[in-house]
Amino acid sequence: MNNAQLNELKQRYVANGCASPATQFAERGENAEIWDADGNRLIDFAGGIGVLNIGHRHPRVVEAVKAQLDKLMHTCAVVMPYAPYVQLAEKLATLTPVNGDAAKVMLVNSGAEALENAVKIARAATGRSGVICFDGGYHGRTFMTLAMTGKVVPYKNDFGPMPGEVFRAPFPVPYHGITEEQALRGLKMLFKTDIPAHRTAAIVIEPVLGEGGFYVAPPSFLKALRAICDEHGIMLIIDEVQSGFGRTGKLFACEHSGVKPDLLTTAKSLADGMPISAVVGRADVMDSSGPNSLGGTYSGNPLSCAAALAVIEVMEEENILARSHALGETLAKRFNAWQQAYECVDNVRHLGAMAAFELVTDKGSRTPDADLAAALCKKAREKGLILLSCGMYGNTIRFLMPVTIEDEVLEEGLGIIEASLKELVGSPATA
C-alpha cells in the first residue's frame, strides 16, 4: 500500500488522539535513514523519540531477536521464567549506579510502566504516599505518570482529575528566570505548604528534561536533592527513560554528577526499538513489597530481553559512549555557528548527544517562537529530514538522531536545517 492508501485507513480507523499528523508511512529503516511507503528517503533526527541510539535495525540486535524467536516468544516471566530475563537483570544491576552496595531489577514494557512501579516501590519502602516532581518533567501517559508530568497540553488537558499526593517544584532553568537557588527554595517551601517531608515517599527528576526542553539539571542541584532525600528518608528516583543508554556520553546522565539514586528507570534505547523498560534500585528497596506485587503479562518479554542484551554488547564493543560525546561536540559547534548567525537561534546546549537550541523572536527578549519551531520542523520534513520540537513553550528544537549516524548523513541533515532556516527567516546576513 502507498502513503495515500495508508492515510485513508488512518483517517477512518485510528483514533484522533493517537493518530500521527505525518502523511508518510515508514516502510524500512537503516541506521539513521527511513524509506516511506512511496519509496521516499528521509534522514531521521528523531530516533523514535530517543529509542534508536544505535540506529534502526542494528545488525546485532536483529540477529539476537531472530535467534530468540526461534526458541521462545512468551511464557510470562512470573509463570515460568527464562534466561534472558535474569541475564538482563544481572547486566543492569551491574551497570546502573544506585545508592547502595547491591542492586536488583524489575522489567516491564514502557517508560510509564517503569515510573508507575518505581513510585509503588518507593511507597512500599517508606510507608509514605507523597511524590514530588518538577515543572517540565515528563514521566508518561498513564494516570499516575500524567499526574507526575509537568506539562498540560497535549498530555493532561482532556482527562480530568489526576491522582492525588503528587506535588511539583520548580526545575532550574536560568535562561527562563529560575535559578538553582530559587528551585531549591521552592522545593523546601513544598514541605511547609503542601506535603511534609515525613510523608514524602519520593522525589522524581529527569537529569535532563526530555519533553520539557532538554534542560540539564546542574550537578550541584542533583547533589542537593540527594542530600535532602538522605536527611528525610525520601527515595530519590531518577528518570533516565530518554536521557539513558548512551545519549549523553555516559550510560546514564546522572553519572555526570556522580549522584546515585535509590531507584532509576530506563527504557527507550535500552532495546533499540523493542518494547522493554526497567526499574533498577537498591536491593533492600526493591524487595520492600510483597510476593507477586510487581510484574505484568508481557513484562520482560524474551525477545525484548534478547535485544537489550545485544544493545549492551554493542555499547561496549562499538564504544558508543565516546561516539555520543563526539557527536555532541559536532552538534554544539554547528549550533554555536547558527546562534552567531541568526537572531532567532539562542540558548544552544548539549550533554553528549542530547542537544538542543531555542527559537526566539529576538535574543534580547528571549520570547519563545513556537510558530517558527513548527515551521522549521515542517520545512525540514518537506526536504526529507525528520526533526522534532519540544519544551514548555514549544520552541525548542531537539536532536535525537542515532549516535551511530554516518558523518555524511549527519552533514546532509544539518544542511537541510540550514537551508530551511534561510528560507524561513532569510540569509544569516539579514536574519
The reply to whether 242 falls in a domain is: yes
- H or E segment and range at residue 314: helix 302-317
Domain match, 19 and 76 both: no
Tell me, yes or no, whether 247 lies in a domain.
Answer: yes
Give the number of other CB atoms < 10 A from CB of residue 109.
18
Q: Is there a domain that residue 234 lies in? A: yes
* 430 in a structural domain: no
State whether 277 and 200 are in the same domain: yes
Q: How far apart are CA 206 and CA 238, in angstroms?
A: 6
Examine residue 114 and state whether it is found in any structural domain, yes or no: yes
Among 362, 365, 327, smallest CA distance to 342 is for 362
Cβ atoms of 145 and 117 closer than 8 Å: no
| 199 assigned to some structural domain | yes
- Give the type of residue at 217: A
My answer on whether 83 and 123 are in the same domain is yes
Q: What is the pLDDT of residue 431?
A: 64
Q: Which domain holds residue 94?
A: 62-317
CA atoms of 411 and 126, how far apart (whole Å) = 50
* Dihedral Cα 188, 190, 193, 198, nearest 10 deg: -80
Instruction: Provide the 3-class DSSP secondary structure of residue 111.
Output: helix
Which pLDDT does position 429 carry in this prediction?
61
- CATH assignment of the domain containing 134: 3.40.640.10
Largest Cα–Cα separation, the chain: 66
- Within 8 A by CB and 6+ apart from 87, the residues are 305, 309
46 and 95 fall within a common domain? no
Question: Looking at the structure, do residues 208 and 102 belong to the same domain, yes or no?
Answer: yes
Core vs surface per residue 185-213: b (16+ CB within 10 A) or e: ebbeebbeeebebeebbbbbbbbbbbbbb
Quote the pLDDT of residue 428: 80
Of residues 153, 139, 165, the one with CA closest to residue 241: 139
Judgement on whether residues 214 and 74 belong to the same structural domain of the protein = yes
Tens digit of pLDDT at every position of the chain (431 positions):
999 999 999 999 999 999 999 999 999 999 999 999 999 999 999 999 999 999 999 999 999 999 999 999 999 999 999 999 999 999 999 999 999 889 999 999 999 999 999 999 999 999 999 999 999 999 999 999 999 999 998 899 899 899 999 999 999 999 999 999 999 999 999 999 999 999 999 999 999 999 999 999 999 999 999 999 999 999 999 999 999 999 999 999 999 999 999 999 999 999 999 999 999 999 999 999 999 999 999 999 999 999 999 999 999 999 999 999 999 999 999 999 999 999 999 999 999 999 999 999 999 999 999 999 999 999 999 999 999 999 999 999 999 999 999 999 999 999 999 999 999 999 886 66
Same domain for 358 and 249: no
Q: Quote the DSSP letter at residue 177.
A: T
**Is residue 285 located within the same domain as residue 222?**
yes
The answer to whether residues 61 and 314 touch, using CB atoms and an 8 Å cutoff, is yes
Q: What are phi and psi of 108, to 5 degrees?
A: -135, -155
What pLDDT is attached to residue 427?
80
Select from 282, 297, 317 the last residue of a domain: 317
d(CA 363, CA 203): 34
Which residue, of 317, 332, 355, is where some domain finishes?
317
- On whether both 138 and 268 belong to a single domain, the answer is yes
Single-letter residue type at 198: H
Look at residues 341, 345, 366 and name the one whose alpha carbon lies nearest to residue 356. 345
> What is the Cα–Cα distance from 303 to 350, expressed in whole angstroms?
33
Please report the pLDDT score of residue 101 as a whole number.
84
Domains in the chain, number: 2
| Predicted model pTM | 0.97
Domain boundary at 317, 336, 359, which?
317
Domain of residue 371, CATH code:
3.90.1150.10
347 and 263 in a common domain: no
- 47 lies in the same domain as 168: no
Compute φ and ψ for 56, nearest 5 degrees. -65, 130
- Locus of grid cell 526530555: 210
Report if residue 431 sits inside a domain. no
Q: Tell whether 158 and 269 lie within a shared domain.
A: yes
> What is the Cα–Cα distance from 234 to 129, expressed in whole angstroms?
11
